[in-house]
Homo-oligomer: A and B are copies of this chain.
Amino acid sequence: MHADRFFSADPTIRKLARNLYLSVKNQPIFAPHGHVDPALFSDPNARFGNPVDLFIRPDHYVIRTLYSNGIPLQKIGISPTDQKVEYDPREVWELFCSQFHLFRATPSGVWLTTSLSDVFDIEQKLSKENAGITYEILTEKLSTEEYSPRNLFDKFNIELLATTDSAADFLPHHQKIQISNWKRKIVPTFRLDSLVHLSNPGWIEEIKRLAANSNIEINNFNTFIQALESRRIAFQRLGATATDFSAESAYTEELSPHQVDEIFQRALKGRVDQQDASQFVAHMLMEMARMSAEDGMVMQFHAGIIRNHNTALFQQFGLDIGGDIPVIVEFTRNLRPLLRRFGNHPNFKLILFTLDESTYTRELAPLAGHYPALRLGPPWWFNDSLNGIERYLNQVMETAGIYKTAGFNDDTRGFCSIPARHDLWRRQAANWLAGLLARHVIDEEDANQMMYELCIGLARKAYNTESNEDGNPV
């Protein structure tokens, strides 16, 4: 990996970018939104398993690239839900290495290469030829204590790691970490999806789990809300400062108590239709905002994605095999009811994420540039990439200003990709600032302070962890 990777080819910008990057290189990683499994850290003896379990099977970016290029899922160790397929991890790894050209110029390729290099000292590009030796090296290292999740957590210099957890969850791993001697900040995030999307097959089981874990009998909408509020307190006790929710549309609407309870009762009886489900989401967004305004938890909203688009694959293999596809999303009209009530509220913070980049200049930056309650999250998912970050910075910052954004988060399932992802963001942010500096849009003082903010300052503030503030000016 080249020391100046991702910086502009222009020597003036490259030099400025390198210096800005180096000024924050040793800042800790602040990871307020992601999907790492907390079980990796609750057991001091946990290990990552084999290279396929670490790099391929859990990574839906890798899965989709291989699958879309004609490789059946069974060949990379993924079983249909009703039939366990045996696989030889060595063979899967060889197949993966032989197809590594598919990842050329993709963010997955960059993260994989950076992780292999920085975490495992594997400097060669993966190929059919070196599949055997790289498998050996990885397997050996992964078995050692040096490469245990807890040791890597410290090696990665992580200040805070937020996981994503169902609001119905009892959070045993977070509890175990909290009472252990291992004093690191691994906090849960209050995720509402499984409890709010009424037409999800598992909804009623999630409600039962919520009832059990909150110790509240849920038989109407009011008790549902009470149970959620009770769990919010439990999450906060374990360090949570944020909630999360994802939906196809950003539509918000306040229903009457009677209306919403009728929908909820129908759902309990398994009789909701599509309109019920949409209206319930619209109303629950209002409730989430109300609860956040009251208890101060930061509300995150990821809008505009159709889950399990590939019905055939979903029926055979279940969730998370790469069939989630973005759709057009509209914020200006849809969020108006919510912003009318809570957009000016001093105690409310809403962080918005989008996969529809056409909303950056048209809707999101103007909205965040006006409403005190709004912050814009970093480029999400497919757009967390070299070009995606550049587009985000160029399209959002002029109108919103950097201070209305939430810095960076990695949103990853792959623990070992965390340093690579933050490094990519820091390099691109440095490069962007270097361009502004070279064109005399900002001066050096501006650039240095903005670099710190983009690296870690903004994220700390956005997620209400300002007590970690190291004194840099805002």
Q: Which residues of A contact B (CB under 8 A)?
A: 1-2, 4-10, 12-13, 64-65, 67-70, 101-107, 110, 125, 306, 309-313, 322-328, 330, 332-333, 336, 339-340, 343-344, 346, 355-358, 361-363, 365-372, 374, 382-383, 385-388, 394-395, 397-404, 435-436, 438-443, 445-446, 449-450, 473-474
Contact = CB atoms under 8 A, between A and B. Distances in A.
A104 B401 contact: yes
Contacts of A474: 101
Given A101-B449, A312-B340, A386 B358 contact: no
A369 B5 contact: no
A326 B370 CA distance: 12
A464 to B, nearest CB: 14
A205 to B, nearest CB: 27
A389 B198 CA distance: 43
A439 B382 contact: no
Contact of A442 (B105, B401, B450): B105
12 contacts: A67-B372, A103-B401, A105-B397, A105-B398, A105-B401, A326-B362, A326-B366, A327-B363, A328-B362, A355-B361, A355-B366, A382-B398
A372 to B, nearest CB: 5
B332 A6 contact: no
Nearest to A339: B310
A104 B402 contact: yes
B110 A441 contact: yes
Contacts of A362: 326-328, 355-358
Contacts of A371: 68, 310
Copies of this protein in the complex: 3
A440 B2 contact: yes
Which of A1, A104, A344, A403 is the most central at the interface, judged by chain B CB atoms within 10 Å of its CB? A104
Given A101-B446, A102-B401, A326-B363, 14 more contacts: A5-B439, A9-B13, A9-B438, A70-B346, A106-B398, A107-B398, A306-B332, A310-B340, A310-B343, A312-B344, A323-B370, A325-B366, A327-B363, A328-B362
A5 B441 contact: yes
Contact of A65 (B9, B306, B356, B401): B401
Given A9-B438, A370-B310, A372-B69, A398 B388 contact: yes
Contacts of A394: 387
Given A5-B441, A327-B332, A442-B104, A67 B386 contact: no
B9 A9 contact: no
A325 B4 contact: no
Contact of A387 (B102, B395, B400): B395
Contacts of A333: 306, 327
Which of A336, A362, A403 is the most central at the interface, judged by chain B CB atoms within 10 Å of its CB? A362
B383 A387 contact: no
A9 B105 contact: no
A312 B398 CA distance: 26
A98 to B, nearest CB: 11
A59 B454 CA distance: 27
A303 to B, nearest CB: 12
Contact of A386 (B323, B332, B367, B441): B441
Contacts of A388: 361, 398
Contacts of A386: 398, 439, 441
Contacts of A398: 105-107, 382, 385-388
A9 B10 contact: yes
A442 B103 CA distance: 10
A343 B369 CA distance: 37
B366 A382 contact: yes
Contacts of A446: 101, 104-105
A332 B326 contact: yes
B309 A332 contact: yes
A72 to B, nearest CB: 9
Contacts of A449: 101
A398 B108 CA distance: 9
Given A387-B395, A398-B388, A68 B105 contact: no
A444 to B, nearest CB: 11
Contacts of A402: 104-105
A440 B105 CA distance: 10
A432 B443 CA distance: 23
Contacts of A69: 372, 401, 403-404
